[in-house]
Chain A
Amino acid sequence: MASKKIGAVLVVGGGVAGIQASLDLADSGFKVYLIDQGPSIGGVMAQLDKTFPTNDCSMCILSPKLVATGRHPNITILTNTEITGLNGEAGNFEVKLRKKSRYIIEDKCNGCGLCAQKCPIEAVDTFNEGLDNRSAIYVEYPQAVPLKFMIDREKCIGCGTCQEICKANAIEYDQKDSEVALKVGSIILAPGFEPFDARLKSEYGYGRFPNVMTSIEFERILSASGPYGGLVLRLSDGEIPKKIAFIQCVGSRDFQLGNNYCSAACCMYGMKEAVIAKEHTPTKLDAKIFYMDMRSYGKEFDAYYERAQGEWGIQFVRSRVAGVTEDPKTNNLFVHYVEDETPKTEEFDMVVLSIGMQPPKNIETLAKNLGIKLNNYKFCETATFSPMETSKPGIFVCGAFSAPKDIPESVAQASGAAAKAMSVIASERGTQVTAKEYPPERDVSREEPRIGVFVCHCGINIGGVVKVPEVVEYAKTLPNVVYADANVYTCSQDTQKLIREKIQQHKLNRVVVASCTPRTHEPLFKETVQEAGLNPYLFEMTNIRDQCSWVHMHEPEKATEKAKDLVRSIVAKAKLLKPLKKPLINVTPVGLVIGGGVSGMTAALELAKQGFEVHLVEKEKELGGHLRTIRYLLEKDDDPKEELNALIKAVTENDKIHVYLGAEVVDVYGFVGNFKSKIRQQNGRETEIEHGIVIVATGAVEYKPTEYLYGKDPRIVTQHDLEEQIAEGAFKAKNVLMIQCVGARTNERPNCARICCGQAIKNALKIKEISPETEVYILYKDMRAYGFKEDYYREAATQGVMFVNYEDERKPQLANDNGGLKMTFWEPVIKEEIEIEPDLVVLSAATIPNPDNKRVAEMLKVPLTKDGFFLEAHMKLRPVDFATDGVFLCGMAHWPKYIDESIAQACAAAARATTILSKPTLEMEGIVANVNEDLCSGCRICEYLCPYNAIEMKEKDGKPIAHVIEALCKGCGACGTACPTKAIIMGHFTTEEILAQVKAALIEVKT
């Protein structure tokens, strides 16, 4: 008999991937143990200043997730913890852990920080990459979760100062390491990566020359909470640099080091660091990036690259830097490189090395303890069709440990791994968890408004421009404000505690935060006030960052005045706020998946594995989508045909999945948990279904080129055509020329189509395999063989495939010369125009959005990008969510991507959907319309106007009265505006509240 399954999961690694996996699991009814080797969670993302391509503040977007993880009732965080042993099997593992001592009693420490202020010992601040010092008793960073101090026993002299001063009696010098054993059903590995040790590239002088630094050190320098408060300064003399060089591929794409792979994120972060450095430097700063191929292959990355060149004036030089030397007098640096076959030297004030990602330290021990296989670079071994599966059943992987990758891909893979981990123990959902409970709500109806105002410095994001103390003092003078103060980060966990304390202490019954945007941070603060016994709708916030400090950077006076106006205005509204009730709605535990390609099928199957019924709608007459055209893989680890057939079989044989072929979803009504849709089949048959979520997996299509005589000559084909030829044994060409970026990176479609480089390498290698004598040329702009695909790029070059770079200014020319094809292109190395006569020209045609996206987007009320792909809720941290609750996306509907990436996203969409479907009821938004029945004249204007049919007429005392169906009301307020008798009150946006806000904003203040 198999042992009993356990409804708990161990997540190893508390970076953004581990955090996301933990939240998805915990929100779907599973207990999570999140362990990290370090004293707090957050990982590398916590160290970053900004994130590409939106230049969002990294801490600002991560912090709400840190806080949510820290306070989730179903997540237990174990820090300073490592795995020492594993027994059991998938569904029932016993994990042995060693928790290293913190020398602090975690339950007692309240993170007040007095100990660190008094500690007489200085130690190197590793969070700031050694650029700063901290005390021997410390937290890694101010927003750290858990906010528990730790003693660095290597530095601590045991003087007893902290013990004396700690009012919580939390210090325990002789605390011992402890052994912990846990029972879990599955395990997710998210240990991240180890930054490359730049000392190993001694020719760049890192460790010898003070002004050569690594990209991660530079992130800390750029950070407002870093060693220089966000100002870019040279380490040698504290001077502001005028000229910075960025050297790419340090520790990546390096055969000598054995790090042959590409680290996948460095091109973008290098560019971002250059852009942000210019932004943070008050004087003119020149930035030059030395690169081999600019690999900006992600969503809207090329648009960023364009802006970096055009708008921000970053210079780009295609060259592998040979070495860096220093002028010992000035500590300036000479970068030696070759451009146009000419050796050059250029002087810089500072050099930043874009260091690559390596497998985590001591990963072999972990792999041995768990019994999982590593690949030849010691990253976790996975396969194309099983990107989250390790070699051991029940153990899954996500984030950079499976391959170097950026944040959104780590986050998507993390949600995907969560789906996989859940499916092992789906039967045990809800067995090990407790529901979050709030204290009873305080009745404030008889109290005078007592408003507390919390003004955020946001590091220096706000405080660097807006005079925050002045705003605080001003807030104190406003009517009904009984408390006002400033916080370094109002969103951090310690501030949440502070807000709760202040609510109690000052008997606050309205809370206002002046910080960043309510679009990201309002939910966090609402929860905080609710934890203090206040109705969450007694909270309001105003945005003095995006509307003041960041848009009036050079006008501190005006920005401060505006901040005061905004605070006064929001306080006037807050005074009038009323508590609102959140309606509960039932959830139909059924999914609708639109699109039956590899993504749609995978998502449907994952939902079915979680125990939910799924309707899978495919426009074509058969399942498979784009995958049908893929005949072999670059990695050769799986057979796509076999995998496709297995997937179709699994889907069609699963009795929880209803497949509709040759069908379209033609209507979607309703809202999260309660959708009603109409599916129309080609035979005209219509089916109405009820479902709780929608997953969009409509895929993408291959661009039909208009360039290079395509369609006019059978010898001009696309990569897909070629693949077909090869697979069918029809390939005979002796001289093949491939052209990259056909229909991509053009004026019309400025972004990269991501997968064409891999396709070209795959087909080139296949040609060399079946016909070694065939000559293959690949004309490219940048070879974007990111991650482990770099191996195949190198392999192709070794096999004699000729790679020739071309620029937009000198595009290759193809002509039909008396029946023969003639290709003319510029060879940049020998600097000559070359003419060849290929017998086959292969166009790497872009992958472009499905033309049906527009219709689907309008039907679901979700947005598209400028290119026409679906636009997710947040590019960095919500890669598979839409802003509309209950609607998710995956696969090529989101952006062109490889199979493994589509599968990861599909599983991710399923996991995100499960956070809804697994709940019998959902708590809805409390912002809904209400009818004052005494004022209602029964005119029915509102009933006619409401786009959600949320208003019905009810008979009362013989006359019709409007009635709001709360679960259907989305809170737009259109009815309230139209009501001629003003009988409709729009919750949280009442006419009185809005007018008070307007009036207060316009008051003239004498300064």
Chain B
Amino acid sequence: MNAKTEFEPKIIGFLCNWCSYAGADLAGVSRIQYPSNIRIIRVMCSGRIDPTFILEALKDGADGVLVAGCHLPSDCHYISGNFKTLRRVTLLKKVLQDFGIEPKRVRLEWISASEGDKFAAVVRDMVEEIKKLGPSPLKNMEVKA
């Protein structure tokens, strides 16, 4: 591999089925182009996203993690899953900071089914942002059980 190759961040995106995954679908249907760095994992609700999933993703080699759910306050298909996510991710980001991991690597966004353009813009922005940060410090870190 060419050593001068630009760093291409790997991003894991946890998307809720009803709003954000649908938003990503709309980006597709509308042919809105965005960088190919993201790998999407569909969950029914952002409230399913356990902070440990995010940590595991960072440990497994992700340079950034996107968590996307339905808009606050009331878009959530499951009434209040997005609020649970908000609390969990906010807390996790504080913890990350304490451990010396840039909190910007984890991003929480509310993306609706009609916001294909927003989804694409978020990915674009995140890729740029993480390129500036460089590879994740957790990547390839040996974790002893």
Q: CB within 8 Å of B: which residues of A?
A: 54-57, 279, 517-519, 543, 545-548, 550-555, 558-559, 561-562, 565-566, 569, 857-858, 861, 863, 865-866, 871, 883-884, 927, 945, 947-948, 970-974, 976-978, 986, 989, 991, 994-995, 997-999, 1001-1004
Contact = CB atoms under 8 A, between A and B. Distances in A.
B50 A54 contact: no
A970 B48 CA distance: 12
Contacts of A543: 25, 28, 40
A977 B78 contact: no
A519 B48 contact: no
A971 B76 CA distance: 13
B101 interface: no
Interface string B15-56: 001100110111111111110100111111101111001001
B104 interface: no
B74 interface: yes
25 contacts: A57-B29, A519-B17, A543-B25, A543-B28, A545-B28, A546-B24, A551-B33, A554-B33, A562-B36, A858-B74, A863-B75, A871-B114, A884-B77, A947-B80, A947-B81, A948-B79, A970-B78, A971-B44, A972-B47, A977-B48, A995-B53, A998-B56, A998-B60, A999-B56, A1002-B39
Contacts of A863: 75, 112-113
Contacts of A519: 17, 21-22, 25
A266 to B, nearest CB: 22
Given A518-B42, A974-B45, A989-B44, A552 B36 contact: yes
B26 to A, nearest CB: 8
Contacts of B44: 927, 971-973, 989
B47 A546 contact: no
Given A554-B33, A973-B48, A546 B27 contact: yes
Contacts of B47: 972-974, 977
B41 A551 contact: no
B28 A565 contact: no
Given A543-B40, A1001-B41, 19 more contacts: A55-B30, A517-B28, A543-B28, A545-B28, A546-B24, A547-B24, A547-B28, A550-B29, A551-B33, A555-B36, A566-B40, A861-B79, A866-B114, A927-B44, A971-B44, A976-B50, A989-B48, A998-B57, A1002-B10
B32 A551 contact: yes
B12 interface: yes
A974 B84 contact: yes
Nearest to B140: A1004
Nearest to B63: A1002
B111 interface: no
A871 B88 CA distance: 30
B130 to A, nearest CB: 14
A559 B34 CA distance: 11
B12 A1001 contact: yes
B120 interface: yes
Contacts of A550: 28-29, 31
Contact of A565 (B24, B39, B48): B39
Contacts of A945: 84
Contact of B79 (A279, A865, A947, A998): A947
Contacts of A999: 56, 60
Contacts of A978: 84
Nearest to A974: B47
A545 B81 CA distance: 28
A995 B56 CA distance: 7
Contact of B29 (A54, A858, A865): A54
Interface in B79-108: 79-81, 84, 88
The list of the 8 closest CB pairs from A to B, nearest first, reads A546-B28, A973-B48, A974-B47, A972-B78, A972-B45, A947-B79, A558-B36, A1001-B39
Contacts of B56: 995, 998-999
Contacts of B27: 546, 551
Interface residues on B, range: 35 or more
A559 B25 contact: no
A997 to B, nearest CB: 5
Contacts of A565: 39
A547 B123 CA distance: 12
Interface of B: 10, 12, 17-18, 21-22, 24-34, 36, 39-45, 47-50, 53, 56-57, 60-62, 74-81, 84, 88, 112-114, 120
Given A519-B22, A552-B36, A553-B31, A569 B41 contact: yes
Contacts of A555: 36
Contacts of B62: 998, 1002
Contact of B18 (A865, A866, A883, A995): A883
Given A883-B18, A970-B78, A976-B48, A546 B39 contact: no
A57 B30 CA distance: 11
Contacts of A554: 33
Nearest to A276: B31
B39 A977 contact: no
Contacts of A883: 18, 77
Nearest to A988: B44
Contact of A973 (B21, B45, B76): B45
B81 A569 contact: no
Contacts of B39: 562, 565-566, 569, 1001-1002
A562 B57 CA distance: 17
B37 to A, nearest CB: 9
A964 B14 CA distance: 25
A889 to B, nearest CB: 16
B63 to A, nearest CB: 10
Nearest to B45: A972
B113 to A, nearest CB: 7
A1002 B136 CA distance: 13
A669 to B, nearest CB: 11
Contact of A972 (B31, B53, B81): B81
Given A562-B36, A947-B78, A977-B47, A546 B25 contact: yes
A977 B87 CA distance: 13
B34 A551 contact: yes
Nearest to A545: B28
A883 B76 CA distance: 12
Contacts of A948: 78-79
Contacts of B84: 945, 974, 977-978
Nearest to B70: A863
A551 B28 contact: yes
Contacts of A858: 74
B33 A552 contact: yes
Nearest to A865: B114
Which of B36, B43, B77, B80 has the largest count of A CB atoms less than 10 A from its CB?
B36
A88 B43 CA distance: 55
Contacts of A54: 26, 29-30
Given A971-B44, A973-B43, A517 B32 contact: no
B70 to A, nearest CB: 9
Contacts of B30: 54-55
Nearest to A554: B33
B117 to A, nearest CB: 10
Contacts of B76: 861
Contact of A55 (B25, B29, B79): B29
Contacts of A865: 114
A401 to B, nearest CB: 30
A222 to B, nearest CB: 14
A940 B73 CA distance: 25
Contacts of A547: 24, 28, 40
B31 A551 contact: yes
A561 B57 CA distance: 19
Contacts of B31: 55, 279, 550-551, 553
Contacts of B80: 947
A565 B21 CA distance: 18
Contacts of A991: 50, 53
Nearest to A995: B56
Which of A518, A553, A927, A994 has the largest count of B CB atoms less than 10 A from its CB?
A994
B93 to A, nearest CB: 17
